[in-house]
Amino acid sequence: MALSDPTRRAILLKLGRKEASLGELHADFEMTLTGLKKHVHVLEEAGLVSTRKVGRARHCRLGPKKLENVTKWMSLYRDMLEERLDHLQAFLESNEEVAR
């Protein structure tokens, strides 16, 4: 079951935003590179992710069985949420006069 695992769903959400190399994906997930590769392999077998070699790196993107409809809104929402939190963080760290 390709989608029964939260890490695999998170990989799809991430790739729904933009392509990433295995190394870049690995930086975002708390697991060994071997573990991550296994998840990507499951997704690739299912046609949800496709990978290709670029130089020494392996690039991953959504595969032929794109989950666009499924992931689009969650991915978009997540981007907006993260942008908001970035701005909140910047606001909190720049404005020492917030407290009244």
Partner 1 sequence: MNTGGKQFKHVMTTPSDREIRVERIFNAPRERVWQAMTDPELVAKWWGRGNELVVERMELTRGGHWRFVEHSDHGTHGFEGRYSEVVPPERVVQTFEWDGMPGHVALETMTLEDLGDGRTKLVNVSLFMTSADRDGALASGMEAGMEASYAALDRVLAA
Give which of 38, 36, 64, 37 is closest to 50, Cα–Cα: 64
DSSP H or E segment with residue 33: helix 33-45
Cβ nearer to partner 1, comparing 6 with 55? 6
Q: Does 18 bind partner 1 (CB under 8 A)?
A: no
Question: Applying CB under 8 A, which of residues 33, 54, 57, 92 lies at the interface with partner 1?
Answer: 92
- Would you say 52 and 45 are in contact if contact means Cβ atoms under 8 Å apart? no
Min dist. Cβ of residue 88 to partner 1 (A):
5
Question: Applying CB under 8 A, which of residues 34, 53, 64, 99 lies at the interface with partner 1?
Answer: 99
